[in-house]
Amino acid sequence: MVLLNPRVYVDSMHRFATQFCGVSAMDHQSVRLMMDQALPRGSDLLSALPDDVFAIISRFLSPRDICSLSLSCRSLNALAATDKVWFVQCEALGLVAARELSEWREGVISYKALCRFLVGVRPLIGIWVHQNPELGNVVYVMPGFISVVGCRIIPQELGPLGLEDGPLLWAPVFEIIGDCDGSMAFFLHGREKDGDYFYPGSLKPIHRTCNVLLLEVEPQMQNSERRLSHSKSLVHLHSDRELSRRISMSDNGISRSQRMTEPNESIPFSQLAFGDRRKLLEIVTNVVRLKVPDSAIGPLFPRSSDDYKKFQRDMVLLSERRMLLLQMHRLGVGHFDWEAAPGLQSDPTQMDLSKIKKSLDRSSGCHGSLNGEESHSQRRRSKTVAGYFRDGLKQILGRSNSVNGSRSSSKNGTSSSGKKHAQLHEFLMSGDTLGLNLHASTMKLTTYRAWPNMPDNRFALYKLPTRAPAAGEEYAGLWGGTFGWPPGRSSEDKPGKALFLLLLSYEETEGQRLLIATKILEGTHYVLHPNGSAMFVVKVDEPLQDPFPWDNDGNSFPVDMLHAYNGEGIANGYGFRYPGSKPGSLFVIQNGLLAFIWKETRVVLTLQRLDLQQLLRKGEQVPALPPIANFSYLTKSYSNVFAGGLSSPRQQYS
């Protein structure tokens, strides 16, 4: 046996001893000494274990620990590379049920590769929001099929039976698809006048604590490793040992190879003026877009069903669709004419900037001329994709120069507003190609009652921290409901009830524990309550003895109340943005319902705990918004901007 990294092995074995064998933290030094002395014997003992036994032991280790063990010596490398060990790691992550993991395995080279993908995308799973429009911009990221899918929840009304009466409406925002080696491909979704489109791009390394998703344009060097990774073929696979190194490094956020090949980031996309960022995104999405072929129209994730044949049929459709999308991402199967756009690369996620850079070099300091009158020949030029791109860049380069140059102070280069923006031509000079990019970043955000305070000029989604129910915080999590009692019961003059999504969280203020219900989505036609507002705040340390106002639930079943708490509910009083509050009570009912009642008006808001993943699997897909607005709708609106797409045919799959 040859020891490659004994210290790493000792650390991993110490963790194994403390977690699996029950050694206390007080014995840290003695355990380390024991492992140092028994290192060769310990590795022989582990390598002699049957695969099934070692797989059980590995459940108490992280993917990084398994990779460390595989790098420590040759005998453990073979043992730690088995599918049984990595199946346990995939299952322990809890993102995909064991029944579906076996189906996912068919599309990758090993469970190790699958674990690499799952570890990479795990920070994205959850609820993401944006302030605009006020009716809600809620995107839920969930597992698809060897992928994760961002699904926008559409503001909507419910039928007489609530969520059981009809499917939850949703629209696709983006997909991140896992390749056979565990690497990732990004697609933005969008709908234009002539149909649905995919907008392929790349991903920056996903930080494990990311709380902001940014849609950006990124210059890259044409010969970079990242550029080549987009055009690799199916047979170009990494070795198991390379995957071990990548998974081990992924726990730290960014691998060493990624850090070494990171492009020049001295001018981040976020430092450009807002108008420049918007125009660049418009140009890039217009060029890289791929028309969705009929063969790619299908489910994005398996529908929840107990019918095994239907489940298998979904898996076949998902597998075929995934392979088609990966091929489109690699080969650039698009709607535009490659020969008519000689300035474009064969990779649809990139655009050649060499001619643009030469033009910038020749006209250094004279970008204002780009705003001059076009010649007769220029006006007659055919509008190829490359031509559209050049025209768009000329327009924003000239405007960017006037904003950042003539309006800037000659001493410090700051604009009249006091905020310094980067020059667009300098940003473009940092690479040979230009592509769409999804950046999962970690930012310092302030929040008010669980709602992040977000700027209005970023093409971004913000993650809502959600906590699982625990002792003393039994009601934390996502809830949905409607106004009225009995729950969801409609009337003749109002056939539907607006769906509200609320995030319940706990907070301690001045020594008092509060349960706060933050509104994240409202299904009315015109917004009544601002996003992020507290629908009610309850003092959980102040139980009430008040009886519930109704004796039955509308179906002649008696109401069995468990608890009641004193609190306040939202009310008009200080204007739309800063509403007032009025006294109310929260009642906990035995069948899993919560009911908040305003004392003065006896208006009641009834809630039930939601599993968005299951609801979306049973839901109904509707057309998306145009690509940039689909990712982040920045225009202020108090009406339902998503309702326009509902008149189009909904996506249904038999």
Q: What is the pLDDT of residue 64?
A: 84
* pLDDT of amino acid 402: 44
Q: How much is the pTM?
A: 0.79
Average pLDDT over residues 567-573: 88
Q: How confident is the model over 40-90, as pLDDT tens digits?
A: 455 566 666 676 777 777 778 888 888 887 777 777 777 777 888 899 999
* Residue 37 reports pLDDT greater than 50: no
Across 541-555, average pLDDT: 81
**In sequence order, what DSSP letters do the residues of 500-556 get, joined into one string?**
EEEEEEEEEETTEEEEEEEEEEE-SSB-SS-TT-EEEEEEEEEE--PPPS-SB-SSS
- 448 vs 556, more confident: 448
Task: Report the pLDDT averaged over residues 554-574.
Answer: 83
pLDDT digits (tens, 9 = 90+) for 590-632: 888 999 999 999 999 999 999 999 999 989 999 999 999 999 9
Residue 278 to residues 35, 246, 284, 633, 634, Cα–Cα distance (Å): 57, 34, 10, 12, 11
Whole-number Å distance between alpha carbons of 627 and 625? 6
User: Does residue 565 have a pLDDT over 90?
Assistant: yes
Predicted local confidence at residue 349, as pLDDT: 57
| Domains recognised in the chain with CATH numbers | 6-118 (1.20.1280), 123-250+273-334+617-644 (no CATH), 354-436 (no CATH), 465-614 (no CATH)
pLDDT of residue 144: 95
Write the pLDDT tens digit of every residue in 457-495: 899 999 998 888 888 899 999 999 899 887 765 555 556
The string of DSSP letters for 98-153 reads HHHHHHHHTTSS-HHHHHHHHHHHGGG-EEEEES-STT-EEEEEEE-SSEEEEEEE
pLDDT for 567 beyond 90: yes
What pLDDT is recorded for position 488? 60
pLDDT in tens, 353-381: 555 555 445 544 443 333 333 333 343 33
User: What pLDDT does 180 receive?
Assistant: 93
Residues in the chain: 654
Q: At what angle do helices 111-121 and 240-250 cross, to 10 degrees?
A: 20
HEC per residue, 166-189: CCCEEEEEEEEEECCCCCEEEEEE
The pLDDT value recorded for residue 10 is 46
What does R_g of the chain's alpha carbons equal in angstroms?
Answer: 28
Q: Given this model, what pLDDT does residue 474 score?
A: 92
pLDDT at position 392 is 59
Strand partners, 414: none
Residue type, 93: L
Higher-scoring residue by pLDDT: 468, 185: 185
Span 380-390, average pLDDT: 48
Contact status, residue 183 vs residue 114, Cβ threshold 8 Å: no
The more confidently predicted of residues 280 and 232 is 280
The number of beta carbons lying within 10 Å of the beta carbon of residue 557 is 11
The answer to which of 17-26, 301-310, 331-340, 553-562 has the lowest mean pLDDT is: 331-340
Q: Which residue is it, tokens 């608890």?
A: 563
The pLDDT of residue 549 is 86
> Is the pLDDT score of 337 beyond 60?
no
Lowest mean pLDDT among 109-118, 121-130, 515-524, 565-574: 565-574
Residues near 541 by Cβ (< 8 Å), separated by ≥ 6?
512, 513
Which pLDDT score, from 0 to 100, does residue 122 have?
96
Pairing between β-strand 620-621 and β-strand 169-178 as defined by DSSP bridges: parallel
The residues that bridge with 272 in the sheet, in sequence order, are: 422
Q: Please give the pLDDT value at position 434.
A: 83
Query: In the 3-class helix/strand/coil scheme, how is 275-315 assigned residue by residue?
Result: HHHHHHHHHHHHHHCEECCHHHCCCCCCCCCCCHHHHHHHH
- The reported pLDDT for the residue numbered 501 is 94
Coil, helix or strand at residue 406: helix
